[in-house]
Chains A and B, each alone.
Chain A
Amino acid sequence: GAGVSQTPSNKVTEKGKYVELRCDPISGHTALYWYRQSLGQGPEFLIYFQGTGAADDSGLPNDRFFAVRPEGSVSTLKIQRTERGDSAVYLCASSTVPGPYFSEQFFGPGTRLTVL
């Protein structure tokens, strides 16, 4: 079935490098979310897109993190000058109805980022 897909599944990089993480949402889902999950923690909200625009980016930890969704479908999370503390599983989710009117968020398998 055509669920949410994320690539790569694993990414190992060195401190200071730039990485891009990709999310392909379910076709037709207008809302797309990025979360970060560190070991022993629940997913932490990063950013939410409604269509092409970032409706809420208040969860991005600092200006090294940036995300785009230029055509309202695929999204890329970009991390500059990676730090060891960025190591985590980055989860993407999509849903049909955006914002406060909840509809089920379908999660992708995540990208495990390891910064050495």
Chain B
Amino acid sequence: EDKVVQSPLSLVVHEGDTVTLNCSYEVTNFRSLLWYKQEKKAPTFLFMLTSSGIEKKSGRLSSILDKKELFSILNITATQTGDSAIYLCAVNRDDKIIFGKGTRLHILP
């Protein structure tokens, strides 16, 4: 059965800290791995990763994929209170996207 597992499920850190969120997957017909940020209801797209070892960066956020070990990490440096959200990892296979349960990140001021 296809699965996407995220860890930790929740994380509380202080503003300015660096965090690493983990995502492992077992999915047939893998096409890409996606990271989303969900603050209220609608997830917003962060990254799409298709190739191993190539880091994607956007400001303080970065992500990398390891297709051999079947995992990805999302790093956030110099965290801010506005980074508080649920971070969802998802895998695109065929015409479906399979989501993990998410990591609930809370940044303390």
Question: A-side interface residues toward B, CB under 8 Å?
Answer: 4, 33, 35, 40-45, 48, 55-56, 59, 89, 91, 98-100, 102, 104-110, 112
Contacts and interface: CB of A to CB of B under 8 A. Distances in A.
A48 B96 contact: yes
A99 B88 contact: no
A54 B55 CA distance: 35
Interface of A is mostly: loop
Contacts of B101: 40-42
Nearest to A106: B45
Contacts of A102: 31-32, 34, 48, 92
Contact of B42 (A55, A56, A110): A110
B44 A107 contact: yes
Interface string B23-60: 00000010110100000111111001000000000000
Given A41-B101, A102-B31, A102-B48, 14 more contacts: A41-B102, A42-B99, A45-B97, A48-B96, A89-B41, A98-B95, A100-B31, A100-B93, A102-B34, A105-B45, A106-B45, A107-B42, A107-B44, A109-B41
